[in-house]
Structure 1
Amino acid sequence: MSTFQLPSSTATTSTAYSSDEEDTLPYPGELSRSDFLAKDFNPEAYLSSLGRNRHQTLEDLRSDLRSRSQLLNQELLELVNGNYEEFLSLGADLHEGEERVEGVRVGVMGFGREVGGVGKVVREREREMEGLLVEKRRIGGEVGVGRALLEVDARLGEMEEGLGIIDRDEDEGDGFDEDDEEVGGEKGSSPVLRRLQRHTREFLLLTRMVERVGSSHPFLLAQQGRVDAIRKTLLLDLAAALRQAKAAKEADAMLGIVRMFSDLGAEGEGVRVLRGS
């Protein structure tokens, strides 16, 4: 049976032609890595663009993508291995760092305890200082009261001597020159009237001092008899001076004495003297 055979020359020529034709065909380039790194990368859209722009069969494209996937897996493995070594090194560093951190923590705790101890001492000193300040104010107030009481006692003694309630020492005077004109006295007034004006002012000043200290103070309560005696003696002297001024018809002197009665809160006593009762 005969078979159809091409001449050997023809076959050789056809084979050569086919190899030359394949060598001249455009081969698709390697898939670009940057295409996969795009922020808006979409697999479906990317594959569609490959179908339009590449002269490549589907099987070849799959093979290319598998190669690309294997390459990426290998790079990922190398990256993980490298980072893992760094991670192990970091773990060792952290292990040493924990000891350092623990040392710092212990130091901070010790410092905190020291600060707390100092704060406790400061608070104790603050309370002590507050107590001392309160005590100082109390003592200062008591000292002020004591000085005021001493001054009250001194003024009581001076008034008792000035009014003749008690005998004064022979070598001491009352500190008042009858020819001198007292501050607040009326020009041309008699020495007796000026003396009474002075005693009245001193008594009013004495009563104000007693009010500032507090009339319920034990010392002042004990001196109340002396205060009453001074006021009684002063009113008697005023009454005698008013009778004399009335007899001499000295209107200015009478007016001044009546005003002193009023200052002492004894207006009624002055009226009775004027009426001659």
Structure 2
Amino acid sequence: MSKFFIDSTSQSADTTPAHVGSPSFGSDDEDTLPYPAELARNDFLSPNFDAQEYLSSLRNRHQTLEDLRSDLRGRSQLLNRELLDLVNGNYEEFLSLGGGLKGGEEKVEGVTVGLLGFQREVETIRKAVQERARETGDLLQEKKGLRKEVVLGRALLEVNEKLEELEERLGIKSKDEEDDEEDDEDEDDDDEASSAAGNSVYAGTLRRLGKQSEQYLSIVRQCDRIGTGHPFLVSLQPRIDEVRKTIILDLSASLRQAKSLDDKRAVLGLTQVFAAVNAENDALRVLKGS
């Protein structure tokens, strides 16, 4: 407590007692000064409270710095106690809130049951969507497989059609004997025209044999692309071998004729066709006369 506090029940041993609340302006009697008023609580509640500015406004309180510090310290402790009481009071009210609700537990239980049911429905839908996605993926894979099968089937049919056409041209398998006879007559006409032009079989026969060899090689390449191990191609292999054998026989007969006529141009052209069908050894045997 400040030494400037006026005590109404006691007197100083060295001075004459003064009336309570009556100030004395003697320079030697400081106990006659009034005690400063209590710091106003509202001053600290201002939204724009500034500590420096507030302390500057207390310069006319006629109070020592130590007493001012003591007042402010007491005010701070009081505010801390009030804040603690406020927090404790609100916390107790918060804890008692659940107990004060009527039927709250039943409502929470109902909401929980509803959420669990909704969760089960969502899980069911999710599983159905996943199953449908798997079915769709399987169908897409099946569609891709069917498309590949269709492409493969068309390729196999094309090989068979080319083979049948070549067989007909070579006379191995004919659909119409009259057509074959007409083709033979056309070829004989070509040979006669070639002989008349220069006594050479190169112009007609070589062109025909070269075209047949190209058709044979086209069939072989297509079989390689598909895969020679395919069962359908395996079944066609004897026919393909027969086509090659027939082409080599025709080439050998033409090469003998060109050799007998000493037609070097025809011999060169025919040996090139032999090489195209990998029959160089057959050409050598013909040229050696064996």
> Fold match, TM over 0.5?
yes
Aligned residues: 234
Q: Secondary structure at the match of 1:231?
A: helix
Aligned 8 A contact 2:255 2:270 in 1: yes
| Structure 2 CA distance for aligned equivalents of residues 31 and 237 of structure 1 | 135
| Structure 1 CA distance for aligned equivalents of residues 169 and 106 of structure 2 | 93
For residues 276 and 82 of structure 1, do their structure 2 counterparts lie closer, same or farther at Cα, with a shift above 3 Å needed?
Answer: closer
User: Which runs of 5 or more residues in structure 1 are unaligned?
Assistant: 1-15, 41-51, 57-63, 181-187
| Structure 2 CA distance for aligned equivalents of residues 108 and 150 of structure 1 | 62
| Structure 2 CA distance for aligned equivalents of residues 255 and 109 of structure 1 | 90
Q: Secondary structure at the match of 1:121?
A: helix
- From 115, 126, 131, the counterpart of 2:138: 131
Please say if 1:200 is aligned against 2:206: no
Residue identity opposite 2:220 in structure 1: T
Quote the residue 1:212 is aligned against: 225
- From 238, 241, 247, the counterpart of 2:251: 238
For residues 167 and 36 of structure 1, do their structure 2 counterparts lie closer, same or farther at Cα, with a shift above 3 Å needed?
Answer: closer
- From 94, 97, 118, the counterpart of 1:91: 97
Residue identity opposite 1:250 in structure 2: D
Aligned 8 A contact 1:28 1:54 in 2: no
Deviation at 1:87, TM superposition (A): 3.0
Residue identity opposite 1:259 in structure 2: Q
| Structure 2 CA distance for aligned equivalents of residues 160 and 239 of structure 1 | 18
Deviation at 1:81, TM superposition (A): 10
Quote the residue 2:289 is aligned against: 276
Residue identity opposite 1:246 in structure 2: K
For residues 131 and 171 of structure 1, do their structure 2 counterparts lie closer, same or farther at Cα, with a shift above 3 Å needed?
Answer: farther
| Structure 2 CA distance for aligned equivalents of residues 17 and 231 of structure 1 | 150
| Structure 2 CA distance for aligned equivalents of residues 81 and 193 of structure 1 | 113
Aligned 8 A contact 1:27 1:55 in 2: no
| Structure 1 CA distance for aligned equivalents of residues 131 and 171 of structure 2 | 59
Deviation at 1:17, TM superposition (A): 8.5
Normalised by the length of structure 2, the TM-score is 0.63
Quote the residue 1:222 is aligned against: 235
| Structure 2 CA distance for aligned equivalents of residues 22 and 164 of structure 1 | 152
Identity %: 39
Q: Secondary structure at the match of 1:19?
A: coil
- Measured against aligned partners, the alpha-carbon deviations of 1:43-81 in whole angstroms (never above 9, x if no partner) come to xxxxxxxxx82899xxxxxxx98xx79xx59x949x649
Quote the residue 1:261 is aligned against: 274
User: Which runs of 5 or more residues in structure 2 are unaligned?
Assistant: 1-15, 25-31, 46-50, 52-62, 191-200
What pairs with 1:154-169 in structure 2 (closer than 5 Å)?
154-169=161-176
Deviation at 1:205, TM superposition (A): 0.5
- After superposition, the CA RMSD in angstroms is 4.7
